[in-house]
Amino acid sequence: MSRSLQLALVGALALPAFLAARDNPKLKYPESKKVDQVDEYHGNKVPDPYRWLEDANSAETKSWVEAQNGVTFAFLRGLPDREALKARLTELYNFERYSTPFSEGGRYFFSKNNGLQNQNVIYTAGKLGDQPTVLLDPNTLAADGTVSLSSYSISEDGKTMAYGVQTSGSDWIEWRVRDVATQKDLTDKIEYSKFSGASWTADGKGFFYSAYDKPDESSRLQKVNYFQKLWFHKVGTPQSQDVLVYERKDQKDWGFGGTVSDDGKFLVIRVSQGTSPKNRLFYRKLDGGPTAQPVVELMPEPDALYQFVGNEGDVLYFRTDKNAPRRRVIAVDTSKKGAAPVELIPEAKESLESVSFVGGKFICTYLKDAASVVLVFDSKGKRVGEVKLPGIGTATGFAGRANSTETFFSFTSFTAPASSYRYDLKTGAVTPVFQPKVKFNPADYVTEQVFYKSKDGTKVPMFISYKKGMKKDGKNPTYLYGYGGFNIAITPSFSVANLVWMEKGGIFAVANIRGGDEYGEEWHEAGTRMKKQNVFDDFIAAGEYLVAEKYTSKEHLGIGGGSNGGLLVGAVTNQRPDLFAAAVPAVGVMDMLRFQKFTIGWAWVSDYGSSEESPEMFNYLKSYSPLHNIKPGVKYPSVMVTTSDHDDRVVPAHSYKYAAALQAAQGGDAPVLIRIETKSGHGAGRPTSKIIEEAADRWAFLWNALAPQKPSVP
């Protein structure tokens, strides 16, 4: 078949969907039946007509998913920009990417992706300049790349690796153990772990991990997760012989994370309760084994954040926001019973994002208007230097041990892919280690930071990135992204997908709205519980700013966000459907009355509150819940909801119910679609191939809505 005939046939096949997208946008959606389900909250009756979609295993739900995907993918295939976008995304993704290296036992470890590999490969080398050896290639674990590495941990002697694998994006982890010298797995296998890392004892004989009881297979992706336990696994023994280190039968919602101190003397136990940054902090001395000594409740109340940083002898160091909302560093001498914490590094004007204790020094990463500043202090808290960064962006890493002479970090920005650098702890010298090369010129793009006022007068920062030569004529297709929750700061980072959007002529904007960690705990709390509307107001004000300053206009403005950001997009779409031409809520929390009833949803109550706790909280949640504020007959913008069938973080029922309700209510001609990824989860570990496909669909959908053009019929 000739290439021209092949293209003609492809064009002919795409033409019906193309015309549906352009000339007949009132799509025919699959039927979403309504059932007579009514729930009562504090005397208030609330219909839930799409409750049946919560049963992900039913034949009826599976049929609905298949039918919805049929409509969505037919629409997307008909968009003229999709194939070109996919081709360019594939071309740009094809570059070498490295993680930040670290050392254990005189060896270096890091991950690398040659370009289009679905999963990153773990390498090891005696020296960074040596030819590295493949330690683990997750791409060999599944042909389609849907088995991924959750995390890995190397023993102090550098001889053994514990690594966790996740299947189809699920949060459930299976731990395995590999010999570094032979690159062969040992017999160890640990199941039912979740939200856990692995921390080795100093002798390398075993590690600590967190797990739940064995789940019921039929409901493992939906059932609520309670009663996490902390375990110790001795290498070479079956899981049935693992030692239970700590549990609390009286506290179903306590979670445990165990970290062994560098000297192997302490097991520090972080006790969390949901996703609140406030936590308890216990420890156990490891003299005599993992359970020989009693657990000491050092910080028995969750009155602040307490993050273990390191230790010198009996003195433990912590990053905390106790009496310091932008955080500080304190020391506690455990040899003195009841000793009060001593401040080492006081609270600064900037938010203290992370601290590591390496080579006898504290390396402190601060956020200054959402960009990194890295300062160095000695063990007494005296400032002794600053790590010079390549520009304005985000620095992460700085791992190492108390006796290390070097550490490594990664630096990235909106127009610079993540590069790795070595920091010499003796001289302060910074030298590049891995610097990827992408087929684009960073000098062709601009990132500016602006500040705008929200509804209540609060000043909010926003990054705006675009290709040089952009004119403020109000006609630029613009993608506004936000998150606004769980104490997470959205800082500058490089994305091939965002680069392709800007290369095509789009503007990429990130609003650093309240609810995150850009300015410490006060900024976070200002966007939680009954202050959540601040988050939506901040995001709406960001859109109004972009329009007022003529970066774009309402007809060319689209919004997006994932998870808590999906909730943001859903709520704002309901509140201001006139301000945006398109919305892409991804894996969003859309049912604010029932989110706590699935998997780990109960843990979000610290940020959201719960419909069950009081009439006031119920009314507040219902006032903005995306599912419950859709109004029939409203002309909503173009909406493409995205979710995944194996998402056991925010179960797909949130998106299913929201999409069904929005399709039924749409009073305009703009499409309302739902794109449901199969064999995929909340996002972590997603294969490169799926990342490219989803990005191509997202940009094609948005470009169709924000930069409309007449179809070119062959």
DSSP, collapsed to helix, strand or coil, labels residue 176 as strand
Q: Provide the H-helix boundaries in 307-447.
A: none
Amino acid at 336: K
Distance CA 202, CA 178 (A): 17
Respond yes or no: is residue 646 known to be catalytic. Answer: no
What DSSP assignment string belongs to 450-495?
EEEE-TTS-EEEEEEEEETT---SS---EEEE----TT--------
297: how many CB neighbours lie within 10 A of its CB?
A: 13
From the centroid of its chain, how far is CA 188?
Answer: 29
Q: What is the DSSP letter of 159?
A: S
Of 413, 563, 610, 644, the active-site residue reads 563
Cβ partners under 8 Å of residue 20, min gap 6: 27, 74, 75, 78
Q: How far apart are CA 546 and CA 529, in angstroms?
A: 28
Q: Specify the amino acid at residue 484.
A: G
> Residue 531, Cβ neighbours under 10 Å: how many?
13
Bridge partners of 160? 179
Annotation says 563 is catalytic: yes
Pairwise CA distance, residues 59 & 331, whole Å: 57
684 Cβ contact list (under 8 Å, min separation 6): 148, 150, 166, 169
Residue 413, burial from CB neighbour count under 10 angstroms (0-12, 13-18, 19+): buried
Two tokens at 605? Answer: 């109550």
d(CA 163, CA 200): 12
Burial of 451 (0-12, 13-18, 19+ CB in 10 A): exposed
Catalogue the active-site residues.
563, 682
